[in-house]
A and B are shown apart, each in its own frame.
Chain A
């Protein structure tokens, strides 16, 4: 069965802290994504990666960076956490190709920045 695992379900951090959100997929997928989900705004793409060490900005990359050193792992980094980054963060992965493939999602990490 397909699996996308996010390392934490809940995180509480302080303003200014550096925060790492980890995501691992076991499907050998080329593409991985980080979204944030906020009520009334749906899912917004932060960053995605189409190969190891390759990344592309999404719609709201400000305040975030990413790392993909291995194919199965995609990390989201909040360089200096702020309260407006309190949100639900979802990781997803999909096979490479035409963009018509299913995205598989992790269960999400609910981050609170105090």
Chain B
């Protein structure tokens, strides 16, 4: 079965410092991985996705994610955090079976960027 794990409920980082939000996956077949962000009182917004090709995927708002097959990880990164990056971040993997359009989400990681 497809699944993703986000091992940290919360990540705290100072503004200007690099940030990493962790995600590991377990899949049958090729992993198709996504990151979404949820700002307070809003729905989720797409950040980036890995389908195939380059292991470093660039996305919106200066975020990038590194796909690592040997470690089954897809960590979200940003070189310099902003206070406005504070939000809830979800990793997701495409489902299998009849519902190939289904996404399976992790439990979310709250990113808090301190000024």
- Name A's B-contacting residues (CB within 8 A): 4, 31, 33, 35, 40-45, 48, 50, 56, 58, 90, 92, 94, 96-108
* Contact call B41/A107, Cβ cutoff below 8 A: yes
- A105 with B45, Cβ < 8 A, contacts A31-B101, A50-B101, A58-B102 known: yes
Give Cα A104–Cα B94 distance, bound, in whole angstroms: 15
CB distance from B55 to the nearest CB of A (A): 17
- A99 with B94, Cβ < 8 A, contacts A40-B107, A42-B106 known: yes
Give Cα A51–Cα B108 distance, bound, in whole angstroms: 29
CB distance from A39 to the nearest CB of B (A): 8
- Among B46, B99, B100, the most chain A Cβ lie within 10 Å of the Cβ of B99
- Among A33, A99, A108, the most chain B Cβ lie within 10 Å of the Cβ of A99
Hey, which chain B residues are within 8 Å of A98, CB to CB? Answer: 100-101
Hey, which chain B residues are within 8 Å of A104, CB to CB? Answer: 46
Hey, which chain A residues are within 8 Å of B9, CB to CB? Answer: 40
Hey, which chain B residues are within 8 Å of A108, CB to CB? Answer: 41-43
Chain B residue with minimal CB distance to A32? Answer: B101
* Contact call B101/A99, Cβ cutoff below 8 A: yes
Give Cα A52–Cα B31 distance, bound, in whole angstroms: 29
* Contact call A94/B108, Cβ cutoff below 8 A: no
Q: Which of B6, B36, B94 contacts A100 (CB 8 A)?
A: B94
Q: Which of A42, A58, A90, A99 contacts B100 (CB 8 A)?
A: A99
Taking A50-B101, A107-B41 as known contacts, 18 extra A-B pairs with beta carbons closer than 8 A to each other, sorted by chain A number, are A31-B101, A40-B9, A43-B90, A44-B105, A45-B102, A45-B103, A90-B43, A90-B44, A94-B101, A97-B101, A98-B100, A99-B32, A99-B95, A100-B51, A102-B49, A103-B44, A103-B46, A108-B43
CB distance from B43 to the nearest CB of A (A): 3
CB distance from B101 to the nearest CB of A (A): 4
* B115 within 8 Å of A (CB atoms): no
Q: Which of A56, A90, A100 contacts B99 (CB 8 A)?
A: A56
CB-based closest 6 A-B pairs: A105-B43, A42-B107, A99-B100, A43-B105, A99-B101, A105-B44
CB distance from B107 to the nearest CB of A (A): 4
